[in-house]
Structure 1
Amino acid sequence: MNNAISRPLILAMGLAFPASHIVLGLFNIGMLLSPWPTLLAMGICVVLMVVVTTPASGRGMPRRNAVITVAGTALMDVLVQSVLPTGVHPGYAAWHCGAIQMLLVTVALRKQIELAWLGIGIFSVLDFAGSMIHRLTPVDGLALVVTPLMWVGIAHAVSRVFGRCDVLVRDYEDQEKRSGARIAREHARWLSQNEWVTELEHATKPTLTKIAAGDLDAADRANCGYLQDELRDQVRGRVLATRQVLASARAARERGVSVEIFDDRETALPTAVEREVLVQLVGALDRAENGFVKARALPRGQDIAVTILAYDENTPDDEFYLEVREQPEGAGGARVDH
């Protein structure tokens, strides 16, 4: 919004107003001792109009462009002052006062306020000295420089207002992003909870219905035990309790294997680590025929991300122990130690 307002203002100050002063100067060129220096000054003014309105990042302008403008306006003043008549008020033959004023106002609006004040200060000294040389009264000399000084002061104030608007807009955008992220997290949590509740109802309703009816056989009782273990895995295993792991864990329990899955990390695993862990854990569960399988995600910040221990009573010498470590970024993501 700030840029949408300030860009037309910059174009008006940097193009339209200096151009109108050039036209006024051309209509009064007959008052000059010679037209050539002022025509050269007008050419410089046209170049500076392009310099001060060239688009850049945001509302600002390159410091180089501001320095060129300050030097150019000083040269314009010297050129026009050199051919002004002596002893009479120059009127619009001193078109350069308004043109320089608007060029430096544009510099101030484009966040180069210090250089705008430097430029208007140099102009004020040169122009007042030139007025005294051309035998104008001090009041007339001051009249030619006071208005440009006031305009740069106004531009300074407007630029400060725009600066505060920039800060407020950035703060509002940051708040909007934070609010959007918070709403997204809450919505994702709500969806996750709803999905879990739906899955829980789907998994437990048939069994609960049979329990309420008192119509349970041995298979139903065994299924209740497996369902209880699966729900415990989801609560305690979190990051490790994927659908594939839960299915393999149930199949292992049905074969008589004791399965324990714990998540002490409580945050997501890096993708490469998660992929390696799930492959290894599902493999260990699918191979187990007896004994136990234990998997644990360790707290974040430890060197070891996940440990897996599998022991089969039928083959005690083939104990399986594995550590999955997080690797530094760019180093492959995961390392497996047996």
Structure 2
Amino acid sequence: MERLVSPAATRLQLVALTGPGTHVLVWGYVVTMAALALSSLDEVRSPWPTVHGVAIMVAVGVLLTLDRREPLGRATAVLVAIAWVAVALLVSWQLKEPGGHSQWFFGAGTVSLFFVGLRGRQLIAWLGFAALSAVVVVWAVSTGVSIPVVLVLVGKQSAILLVSSLFSFGLGRTSRSIVRLSEETSTRATIEAAQLATTAERNQRLAELDAIATPLLARLVGGQPLTAEDRLDFAVAEAQLRDGLRARALSVPDVADAARDARRRGVEVVLLDDLYPAEAPPEVLDVVRSRVVQALHSATDGRVVARLLPEGRDEVATILIDGERMQRRDVVLAG
């Protein structure tokens, strides 16, 4: 079955930096930097350090893509930081002159650490950037490159990482606000659902009470003398209302009709639900109701006691017929 994803879920996935949109962005950058690095091979003394550096960059892209944890796994973040320090050590002293695309690794490393910081590993990102910058500064000192020029380069790259820190901070606050609002909305929805369920239950009870009691009350206020038949109807109605309170799971039309007929025949009927508030599986409850109806139809005197048993037993219900002509105990098992 195809899984449907809402636009809101897609946007949140992108913000989390673990979605397809972010992966496309990461790999688009990897491909672009690989092209720039390979186009600068005439600016280095040996092409192989640059080629190996590109291979390490691809491996870093794979790590950032496969690790979907939030925050990013600590081991992954440390490996990314170490990888770019290694690339800087590998390529820097092969440069014929500073500047140009031959120093691609500094910008690529900073952007990788940008993603590391954005995914919750700010400290590792800044430590990695500090180590990467230290390599570049040492290279500049050892090769006679102007220190102010290198410091300006480091300052420009640090601005990228600073944006990561600021954005990560803002994103964290926004995420917490979204979670809080979501929890509040869920709580309100739960309360509203409970209120609706309570209202529906109350309306159903009132409808049942109206159907049972209103005709009888009309007889009482009518001023006519009460007959034995009227008194029997009152007793049967009272018992039916009591069933609705004590055995809600058994208060269905088939059982109610059978219980009313049995009571009019003089059978004492007791229905109990000691399983409440738990519920029996629907298929098991259907079996119980069916057997209760059969027992009520079979009884001609004495009493019938049908009881749903408390949770945690092998037996779900017992049905007892205790009369002069018939005595029987029926048990419904959970299985």
| Fold shared, TM-score > 0.5 on shorter chain | yes
Q: SS of 1:129's equivalent?
A: helix
Matches within 5 A, 1:71-90: 71-85=82-96, 90=99
Give the TM-score, by structure 1 length: 0.75
Query: Structure 1 residues 6, 234: closer, same or farther in 2, change over 3 A?
Result: closer
Equivalent residue for 2:186? 177
**Percent of aligned pairs sharing the same letter:** 25
Post-superposition CA distance 1:82-114 (Å, at most 9, x none): 23346xx63665343222211211222234545
Deviation at 1:289, TM superposition (A): 0.9
Deviation at 1:257, TM superposition (A): 0.6
Of residues 243, 257, 260, the one that matches 2:270 is 260
Q: Amino acid of the residue matched to residue 81 of structure 1? A: S
Query: Structure 1 residues 126, 220: closer, same or farther in 2, change over 3 A?
Result: same
Pairing 1:312–2:323 present: yes
Gaps of 5+ in 1: 326-333
Equivalent residue for 1:240? 250
Work out whether residues 126 and 161 of structure 2, in 8 Å CA contact, stay in contact via their aligned partners in 1: yes
The aligned length equals 321
Q: SS of 2:94's equivalent?
A: coil
Deviation at 1:288, TM superposition (A): 0.8
Cα separation, 2, equivalents of 1:33 and 1:241 = 88
Deviation at 1:153, TM superposition (A): 4.7
Cα separation, 1, equivalents of 2:278 and 2:311 = 9
Query: Structure 1 residues 150, 137: closer, same or farther in 2, change over 3 A?
Result: same
Work out whether residues 21 and 98 of structure 1, in 8 Å CA contact, stay in contact via their aligned partners in 2: no
Work out whether residues 117 and 165 of structure 2, in 8 Å CA contact, stay in contact via their aligned partners in 1: yes
Q: SS of 1:247's equivalent?
A: helix
Equivalent residue for 1:331? none
Q: SS of 1:261's equivalent?
A: strand
Query: Structure 1 residues 18, 301: closer, same or farther in 2, change over 3 A?
Result: closer
Query: Structure 1 residues 25, 47: closer, same or farther in 2, change over 3 A?
Result: closer
Q: CA RMSD in A?
A: 3.9
Deviation at 1:183, TM superposition (A): 1.9
Cα separation, 2, equivalents of 1:159 and 1:10 = 15
Cα separation, 1, equivalents of 2:22 and 2:151 = 27
Gaps of 5+ in 2: 1-10
Cα separation, 2, equivalents of 1:182 and 1:58 = 33
Query: Structure 1 residues 48, 151: closer, same or farther in 2, change over 3 A?
Result: farther
Equivalent residue for 2:238? 228
Post-superposition CA distance 1:115-134 (Å, at most 9, x none): 53453243123222211211
Q: SS of 1:293's equivalent?
A: strand
Of residues 198, 202, 210, the one that matches 1:201 is 210
Post-superposition CA distance 1:250-269 (Å, at most 9, x none): 11112211111233443142
Cα separation, 1, equivalents of 2:241 and 2:22 = 66
Q: SS of 1:295's equivalent?
A: strand
Post-superposition CA distance 1:206-243 (Å, at most 9, x none): 33223221245443332222212211211222223222
Give the TM-score, by structure 2 length: 0.75
Higher relative contact order (CA 8 A, sep 6+): 1
Q: Amino acid of the residue matched to residue 154 of structure 2? A: V
